[in-house]
């Protein structure tokens, strides 16, 4: 059985969804430390021909806290401002009418625990893309939380009966193929291929949020993109 493990991100780029789609079980790694300046509470969308950051409000965010110890306030003013930015940016995109209600339901979701708020967003988009992956919070897995790094990943894999562990290519320097092999688990790294599509009449900006991908491409086109990767 193939599994993937990643922190929950805010409307992540297409490579994140490729990893989800490639595995049977996807572990939302919510009981690890929050990474400041990462993609847990922000991403980039297309605004006026340029990439622009959008952010999710948080309370008490700190690298000294676990992701599931951080809250996102149900601030309707901020959420409406965020939705206004998305509407303004994508109202003339070809799939706005079908995608905007999906994005709106995600942003307006009433859940203040950051990890659960993000889990909901991931599940909704995965459902829209007709994925069959099972989602599990790492905090719900009975494991030794004193373990760190690769050792913790290996234990999760063994508890869940994984035969293969898939990770994003960025983690290649963090894990040992030999160590996984010695535990009866194959280790593969997913490398997203070059993906381009039409963004209005401007030059293409790669690696934007999944919001951008969905606004400019049909469901079937995005599903094809999910398979545009290589494994190393």
From CA 180, how far away is CA 203, in angstroms rounded? 42
Q: What pLDDT is recorded for position 191?
A: 97
Residue 114: predicted pLDDT: 97
Partners of 167 in beta bridges: 189
Please, what is the Cα angle at 95 between 56 and 28, to 5 degrees?
A: 40
Which of 3, 58, 7 is CA-nearest to residue 31? 7
- Full domain range(s) for residue 121: 2-231
Count structural domains, the chain: 1
* pLDDT for residue 50 is more than 80: yes
Whether the predicted pLDDT of 202 surpasses 90: no
Instruction: Compute the mean pLDDT over every residue in the chain, rounded to the nearest whole number.
Output: 96
| Residue among 203, 223, 211 at smallest CA distance from 90 | 211
Q: How far is CA 62 from the centre of its chain?
A: 20
pTM value is 0.96
Dihedrals phi, psi of 55, to nearest 5 degrees: -130, 150
């Amino acid at each position: 059985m193939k599994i993937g493990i990643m922190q929950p991100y805010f409307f992540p780029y297409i490579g994140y969804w490729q990893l989800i789609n490639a595995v049977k079980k996807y572990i939302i790694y919510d009981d690890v430390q929050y990474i400041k300046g990462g993609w847990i509470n922000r991403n980039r969308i297309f605004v006026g021909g340029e990439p622009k950051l959008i952010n999710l409000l948080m309370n008490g965010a700190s690298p000294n806290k676990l992701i599931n110890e951080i809250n996102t306030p149900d601030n309707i003013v901020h959420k409406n401002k965020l939705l206004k930015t998305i509407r303004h940016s994508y109202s003339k995109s070809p799939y706005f009418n079908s995608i905007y209600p999906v994005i709106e339901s995600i942003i307006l979701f009433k859940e203040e625990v950051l990890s659960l708020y993000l889990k909901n967003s991931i599940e909704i988009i995965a459902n829209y893309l007709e994925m069959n992956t099972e989602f599990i919070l790492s905090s719900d897995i009975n494991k030794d939380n004193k373990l760190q790094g690769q050792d913790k990943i290996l234990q999760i894999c063994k508890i869940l009966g994984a035969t293969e562990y898939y990770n994003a290519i960025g983690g290649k320097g963090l894990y040992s193929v030999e160590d996984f092999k010695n535990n009866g688990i194959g280790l593969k790294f997913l490398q997203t291929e070059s993906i381009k599509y039409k963004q209005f009449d401007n030059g293409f900006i790669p690696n934007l949020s999944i919001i951008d991908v969905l606004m400019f491409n049909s469901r079937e086109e995005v599903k094809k993109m999910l398979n545009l990767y290589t494994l190393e």
